[in-house]
A and B are shown apart, each in its own frame.
Chain A
Amino acid sequence: MQSRPWIQLFNITMCAILFFAVFPVPVQPADQASGQVLGGSPEAPIKIEVFSDFECPSCRELYLDVMRRVLVEYSSQNKVCVVYHEFPLAMHPYAREAARYAEAAARLGRDKLLMVYDTLFMNQAQWAEDGQVEATVAKALSRADFQMLKKVMLDPGINASIEKEILLGNQYRIMSTPTFFIYTGGKLQQKVEGRLTFVSLKQFLDSRLK
């Protein structure tokens, strides 16, 4: 059946309408969240914002296999700013406590924060089983640093910060962890729910940094 030219023109118009009217461009999430900067500065050309739960196995894989490499290969040269938001899920009984330690460590500086992140994710299976979050963090820090961390933990602002992060996650409609957003020039480029390999992320980052 041969279509007449006016029918073809109508169909092309329909295609255009499908694109520009039926499928609106998604609303971009607000980009003014606090969070914990794990690497790079906010002026870096690319910003990655991760909503993560310390007790979630996929978050562990994302941090240890992907984000740590991003921190080494990109954030150290200030090409990518990596920001983590605590989003402890209610189904994980020790996730909030772990998030409190991370929030407190952030107040002691980025190196302490990274130590706490590393130890919490590397030993996730153990503390998620026995609930010994404090002992896990204590092993990673010096005695003096841990004492300081315990003092900071007394600040009620720690809980308030986590609540704020959860609220922010709800505003972003986070349904599962990990979920991360990638921005360039303040504009949303990608939204990813779940795991991603470093190879794919690297190819994406390199294409944007050209």
Chain B
Amino acid sequence: MTAKMRLIHWLCRIVLAAVFIYSGYVKSELNHSTLQFASAISGYKVVPEKFVYPLAQYFPWIEIALGAWILIGWKIGWSSMAASGLMLFFIGLLSITLYRGIDTNCGCFGFGDRITWKTIVRDGSLFIPALYLVIESWIRMRKKQAALTPTASQT
């Protein structure tokens, strides 16, 4: 891995980790915001009401754990894949909500921003570093496998 690629790798990891840890923190019990997040989840009108509060309680911790996992770098392929999946889910949910004409809070990185196409573009841009890490780790895995597979000349 070249120095430039290493820098990009670290930038992607730091950006993703910071985004997930921050967005988890602002919605969590630590920020006294569980009910505020529950209110944001209710606004999407996709989750049955009795599951809203439990989701609001535990989801921020999943984001924080995912951010920490990406930062630590253990099994980076899997963690970045989880981040990509989560980003895709958010983009899909925001798009559907906007399409349905529901005017509600995004609840992404705080509670002030309404859902607009800009929100979707912002979240979409965060999908790029996650996808980069997935592709990078996939290429690395392929190279590793190729190195382990004995070639015809070696046998």
Interface residues of A (CB under 8 A from B): 1, 3, 7-8, 11-12, 14-15, 18-19, 23, 25-26, 182, 188-197, 199-201, 203-204
Contact = CB atoms under 8 A, between A and B. Distances in A.
A199 B53 contact: yes
A26 B25 contact: no
27 contacts: A1-B9, A3-B73, A3-B74, A11-B71, A11-B72, A12-B68, A14-B71, A15-B72, A19-B30, A23-B31, A26-B32, A188-B32, A190-B35, A192-B36, A194-B36, A194-B105, A194-B111, A195-B39, A195-B42, A196-B35, A196-B38, A197-B39, A197-B49, A199-B49, A200-B52, A200-B56, A203-B53
Given A19-B30, A191-B36, 8 more contacts: A11-B71, A15-B72, A19-B25, A190-B33, A192-B35, A193-B36, A197-B49, A200-B52
B72 A8 contact: yes
Lowest 4 CB-CB distances: which A-B pairs, in order? A203-B53, A3-B73, A200-B38, A200-B53
B32 A193 contact: no
Interface string B24-58: 01000011111110110010000001101110100
B140 interface: yes
A190 B140 CA distance: 45
Contacts of A192: 35-36, 39
A136 B32 CA distance: 38
A193 B52 contact: no
Given A1-B76, A14-B71, A194 B39 contact: yes
A192 B38 CA distance: 10
Contacts of A191: 32-33, 36
Contacts of B30: 19, 23, 25
Interface residues on B, range: 20 to 34
A196 B105 CA distance: 13
Interface string B8-34: 010000000010011001000011111
Contacts of B36: 190-194
Contacts of B140: 1
B137 to A, nearest CB: 8
A12 B140 CA distance: 24
A200 B33 contact: no
Contact of B68 (A1, A15, A25): A15
A192 B25 CA distance: 16
B147 interface: no
Nearest to A179: B36
Contacts of B6: 1
B146 interface: no
Contacts of A18: 18, 21
A13 to B, nearest CB: 10
A23 B42 CA distance: 26
A200 B39 contact: yes
A199 to B, nearest CB: 5
Contact of B54 (A14, A15, A190, A203): A203
B1 interface: yes
Of A8, A182, A197, most B-chain CB atoms within 10 Å: A197
Contact of A200 (B35, B67, B68, B76): B35
A203 B31 CA distance: 19
Contacts of A194: 36, 39, 105, 111
Interface string B78-103: 00000000000000000000000000
